[in-house]
Amino acid sequence: MTVSGNVATTVRREVKKDGDPWCHFRIACNERYFDSRTNQWSDGETSYFTVICWQPHLAKNVAASLSLGDPVVVHGRGRVREWRDEQNVLRQSIEISASSVGHDLYRGISSFTKAVRQPPSEPDGDEVKQAVAGYTTDEAGADKATGEVPPPPLPSDDNQDEPDDTDEFDDSDELTAVGAAL
């Protein structure tokens, strides 16, 4: 759904359990109609919507850009939320999980500043060389530079490498550790 109106409350910034920011605010939308009796435009009823910005980048930009009273256009998914107030009266509100929010340019001029997102820092060449120098083979013994895997050792004459018939392989601890059941 898409609605246009005015920011009716201060944008409130919050933080999710995972540390990502989100924000919410209310928007007031006035219905306008032409009154043929007075030959003028008039305001009708006002509808209020709660706008929630879950996406971290959107939440940061909305909180930095919007002020009380700003004309805005909000696009997102709407849903009706029900709850009971202190007197146990059933209440309803419409929430919009916003995917896009912006100033309403029909009603004014805006200036856009592109958000700067910091790319993950990349280690410099010396750090990479030092890290690689410590690891010349992987777990299977393959040479990291060439990819060659050395041949397995030759069996000895005393057959120490072969399991005897009394040895049993028990992998239940390993399987249980990753949630598998036997």
Q: What is the pLDDT of residues 46-75, one digit of tens each?
A: 999 999 999 999 999 999 999 999 999 999
- Read off the pLDDT of residues 18-48 as tens digits, 9 standing for 90 and up: 999 999 999 999 988 889 999 999 989 999 9
| CA distance from start to end of the chain | 51
Per-residue pLDDT, 124:
62
Nearest to 60 by CA among 92, 14, 95, 94: 14
Question: Is residue 77 within 8 Å of residue 1, measured between CB atoms?
Answer: yes
- Which two three-digit tokens encode residue 99? 């995917």
Question: Is residue 94 within 8 Å of residue 80, measured between CB atoms?
Answer: yes
Per-residue pLDDT, 66:
97
Per-residue pLDDT, 129:
61
For residue 29, the tally of other CB atoms under 10 A from its CB is 16
Tell me how far apart the alpha carbons of residues 7 and 70 are, in angstroms, rounded to a whole number: 5
Tell me how far apart the alpha carbons of residues 172 and 181 are, in angstroms, rounded to a whole number: 8
Element (H, E) at 177: helix 172-177
Residue spans of beta strands (DSSP E) within 16-166: 21-35, 40-53, 71-84, 90-103
pLDDT at 88 over 90: yes
**In which band, very low, low, confident or very high, does the pLDDT at 112 lie, cut at 50, 70 and 90?**
confident
CA distances in angstroms from 21 to 9, 15, 17, 18, listed in the order given: 18, 4, 9, 9
Domain locations along the chain: 2-103
The pTM assigned to this predicted structure is 0.61
**In which band, very low, low, confident or very high, does the pLDDT at 176 lie, cut at 50, 70 and 90?**
very low
Angle ∠(104,108,111) on CA atoms, nearest 5: 85
Question: Is residue 65 within 8 Å of residue 98, measured between CB atoms?
Answer: no
Per-residue pLDDT, 75:
98
* Eight-state DSSP code of residue 106: T
Q: What percent of the chain has pLDDT over 70?
A: 64
* Residue located via tokens 């435009």: 41
CATH hierarchy code of domain 2-103: 2.40.50.140
**DSSP reduced 3-state for 68:** coil
